[in-house]
Amino acid sequence: MGAVPGDTPVALVTGGSRGIGRACALGLAEDGYDVVINYVGNRAAADAVAAGVVARQRRALVIQGDVGSEPDVLRMFGAVDGFGRLAVLVNNAGVVDVAARVDEMSLDRLTRMMRINVIGAFLCAREAVKRMSTRHGGQGGAIINIGSVAADLGSPAQYVDYAASKGAIDSMTIGLGREVATEGVRVNAVRPGLIKTDIHASGGIPDRVERLAGLVPMQRGGSAEEIADSVRWLASPKASYVVGSLITVSGGR
């Protein structure tokens, strides 16, 4: 699946083995990108996504790595360099934790949350800019960060730390977008609302979408593919004048 580099542009999807990341990887393959799928723990799931990419007549490369670890990020981008020209980064990898009040949160929890969700996104964006920016000899590209409407809602008594980490992603998107706007790099974010993915189970509330669907004006949760559709648009030439934008995909919530 990791064939000789060609002329086809490459999309890197962090946390690409499941949920929104999986939908983005498969969707971008349909749009003509070769796809690098980053995962942290579930190799079988990542391989299944890679098989889906290959079934769409595109090349796939699977890379294990923790985005919150600088050595892992450098190794991952080094592998991307050997695979092809990076044109799209989907900064999707992230974590939640079990529901808790702020006065119950440990330093370890807070450090993990910010290391992966914020520092990890910065590290990946940094390396992507070094490869995409015309200032660095690149041909341009698109960085799409996955934020969350939690940044607006605050997620009280559940995970204020997660909401705060996604607020940081909003700020990074706006600032970095303006910083590299003249260098051929478009930076934007998609902010999902209540989406049917496994992340709710990892936060200890596997039926969260069903519980909260009534709070959504559309009266339902969204799908990973509905988020991926917005990511695919932002990656495409159809979004050529879109920079530093936060696109909320939440059913009105």
Q: Which of 33, 39, 159, 162 is catalytic?
A: 162
d(CA 68, CA 42): 17
pLDDT value, residue 71: 98
Q: Which region holds residue 22: left if phi is over 0, alpha if psi is between -120 and 50, else beta?
A: alpha
**pLDDT confidence of residue 203:** 54
Q: How far is CA 252 from the centre of its chain?
A: 21
For residues 102 and 230, give the distance between their C-alpha atoms in angstroms, rounded to a whole number: 32
Q: How far is CA 100 from CA 26, 109, 136, 194, in A?
A: 34, 11, 44, 19
Across 3-15, average pLDDT = 81
- Catalytic residue flag (residue 162): yes
Residue type, 222: G
Q: What is the mean pLDDT of the chain?
A: 93
Rg of the chain over CA atoms, in angstroms? 17
Identify any residues that bridge with 61 across adjacent strands, giving them in sequence order. Answer: 36
Residue-wise pLDDT tens digits, 129-160: 999 999 999 999 999 999 999 999 999 999 99
> How many CB atoms neighbour CB 51 within 10 A?
12
Spatial contact of 37 and 29, defined as CB atoms under 8 Å apart: no
Place of tokens 């910010």: 114
CB 65 within 8 A of CB 38: yes
Instruction: Tell me the pTM.
Output: 0.93
Average pLDDT of 223-240? 97
Domains, the chain = 10-249 (3.40.50.720)
**In this predicted structure, what is the pLDDT of residue 207?**
67
